[in-house]
Structure 1
Amino acid sequence: MIPFFRKIRQKLLSRNKVTRYLVYALGEILLVVIGILIALQVNNWNEGRKQEKISDQTLQSLEEEINEARSNLEKIISFNERILELSNRFLAGELTKDSLENDPTQIFYLTTYAFTTLNFAITEQELSTERTILGRQSLNAKLRISLQDYLSMGDLEELLGNFWNNEVLPYFIEKKMMVVYNRFLKQESINKEDIQQIVNEEKFVNLVATTNSMNYQFLNLLKQLDKDLEEALVLIKEEEHD
Structure 2
Amino acid sequence: MLKFFRQIRKHLVEQNKVRKYILYAVGETLLVVIGILIALQVNNWNENRKLEKVSDQTLQSLEEEINEARSNLKEIIAFNERISELSRDFLSGELPMDSLEKDPSQIFLLTTYASSTLNFAITEQELSSERTILGRQRLNEKLRISLQDYLRMGDLVDLLSNFWNNEVLPYFIEKKMMVVYNRFLKDEPINIEDIQQIINEDKFVNLVATTNSMNYQFLFFLKKLDKDLEEALVLIREEEND
TM-score for both structures, normalised by structure 1: 0.98
Cα drift, residue 43 of structure 1 = 0.7
- Which whole-Å CA distance do the structure 2 matches of 1:51 and 1:96 have between them? 62
For residues 54 and 180 of structure 1, the distance between their equivalents in structure 2, rounded to whole angstroms, comes to: 55
- In 2, Cα distance between the equivalents of 1:130 and 1:61? 18
Partner of 1:52: 52
Match of 2:205 in 1: 205
1:19 is displaced (CA, Å) by 1.7
Residue aligning to 2:131? 131
2:110 paired residue number: 110
Task: Provide the aligned C-alpha RMSD in A.
Answer: 1.0
**Quick check: 6-15 or 160-169, which moved more?**
6-15
Note if contact 2:69-2:118 (Cα within 8 Å) is conserved in structure 1. yes
Q: Which residue of 2 aligns with 1:158?
A: 158
| Partner-residue secondary structure (3-state), 1:88 | helix
Aligned counterpart, 1:92: 92
| Structure 1 segment 138-153 matched on structure 2, within 5 A | 138-153=138-153
Q: Secondary structure at the match of 2:171?
A: helix
Deviation at 1:95, TM superposition (A): 1.9
Counterpart position of 2:64: 64
Gaps spanning 5+ residues in structure 2: where?
none
Q: Distance in 1 between matches of 2:50 and 2:132?
A: 11
**1:183 paired residue number:** 183
TM-score, length-scaled by structure 2: 0.98
Q: Could you give the per-residue CA deviations for residues 56-87 of structure 1, whole angstroms, max 9, x where no partner exists? A: 11000000110111111111110000000000
Which amino acid is the alignment partner of residue 134 of structure 1? Answer: L
Amino acid at match of 1:69: A
**Equivalence for 1:4:** 4
Which residue in the other structure is 2:232 paired with? Answer: 232
> How many Å separate the matches in 2 of 1:10 and 1:197?
112
Q: CA deviation at 1:13?
A: 1.3
How many correspondences in the alignment? 242
CA contact (8 A) 2:132 2:140 kept: no
| CA apart distance, 1:11 | 1.2
Distance 2:147 2:228 in 1: 9
Helix, strand or coil: the match of 1:134? Answer: helix
CA distance in 1, matches of 2:3, 2:97: 104
Task: Tell me the CA shift for residue 165 of structure 1.
Answer: 0.3
Asked if 2 retains the 8 angstrom alpha-carbon contact of 1:54 and 1:132, the reply is no
